[in-house]
Homo-oligomer: A and B are copies of this chain.
Amino acid sequence: MTTIQDIADKLGISKGTVSKALNGASDISETLQKQILETAVELGYTKLRRYKKPSRRLCILVQKDNIEYKEPHHFAYDIVMGFRQMAEPAGCEVDVVPLDVNTQRETSYDVFMLQNDYSGGFALGFSLNEPWIRDFQTSRTPIVLYDNHIVGNPSTAYVGIDNDEGMYLAVGHLKELGHHKIGYLSSALGSHIMQIRHRAFFQAMHRHGLKADPSYSGCSYYLSECMEKHLPRFLGMGMTAVICCQDTFASAAITQCRQLGYQVPRDISIIGFDDIPICPYTSPPLTTVRQDRIELGKSGYYALNSLMNGVSIGTVLLHADLIVRESTKQPAAGN
């Protein structure tokens, strides 16, 4: 186990200086403090080893450009609440830390955690190309990622819903209603979860014995492009139902269908994904695959607590739940 002496020896400075830097004393230059923290991380010195006290400081790292959490109608609000509901009664202090790509570029993940006295983190809203996703391949401070999966690092865990199950339920519901030609609308495949859902769609179609060649999916970075290019293409192909990667896409698809002269669900059925708070209020109310966000937050704490206690949980998936509202019904006669 790395000690303060090891860090001092490596840098040729005194133990006192190292200790001051690790405790954030103000009489040390920023450059020296950064050098000491980086050396500490390089040598494998982490907060977990440093503190024996029962109260632990944890953080929820929110990529603020990708996900909102401050208001009850924001997607991550309940996830944060679920995490707190488990962590705080267990004696942990929880900070919510909004950050962006620049924060990640300036400081590596392990250094950031050491600098701020955090024993572990729960990361929300990270897309695949962010700097810390690379850090998480080799980081040593326990981190749980919502909807991101790091392979091969025992200090990381992935929490999410079972998207294969969700897609299986969605396709099964449509098949039971009598739909056979089903399309899938997706945003670009630049996040782990978009890749997973895209694959899950084809797998679910296959498992239900329905045809789906690559033309059955339409992916675009811009929602508008999905609506203007892929949705009309699907309608032209005679699709009677469309599953969307997210509720926002589904809600836009309902509007776009109406503008193109198609009524939902009479002419075409639409299913979303996530069950965001708006879903009961779209017109018609949206059938969707629910992610229980309180439970996701609770599972996030459980996984983090397990990692911090040396039980190397890598993946926790919640059951998906299909919420049937009014945007789906049997296809019109003749289809």
Using CB atoms and an 8 Å cutoff, list the residues of chain A in contact with chain B. 151-152, 154, 162, 164-165, 168-169, 292, 295, 298-299, 302, 306, 311-321
Contact = CB atoms under 8 A, between A and B. Distances in A.
Main secondary structure of the interface of A (DSSP, over half): mixed
A315 to B, nearest CB: 4
B165 A314 contact: yes
B311 A295 contact: yes
A175 to B, nearest CB: 14
A168 B314 CA distance: 14
Contacts of A315: 162, 315-317
Contact of A313 (B168, B317, B321): B317
Contact of A321 (B154, B164, B299): B154
A209 B319 CA distance: 33
Contacts of A302: 302, 306
Contact of A311 (B298, B312, B320): B298
Contacts of A318: 311-314
A100 B312 CA distance: 32
A318 B154 CA distance: 9
A2 to B, nearest CB: 22
Contacts of A162: 314-315
Nearest to A169: B152
A54 to B, nearest CB: 17
Contacts of A313: 295, 299, 316-319
Contacts of A321: 154, 312
12 contacts: A151-B165, A292-B312, A295-B312, A295-B313, A299-B311, A302-B302, A311-B318, A313-B317, A313-B319, A315-B315, A315-B317, A316-B316
Given A295-B312, A314-B317, A314-B319, 14 more contacts: A151-B165, A152-B169, A154-B319, A154-B321, A162-B315, A295-B311, A299-B311, A302-B306, A312-B319, A313-B318, A313-B319, A314-B318, A314-B320, A315-B316
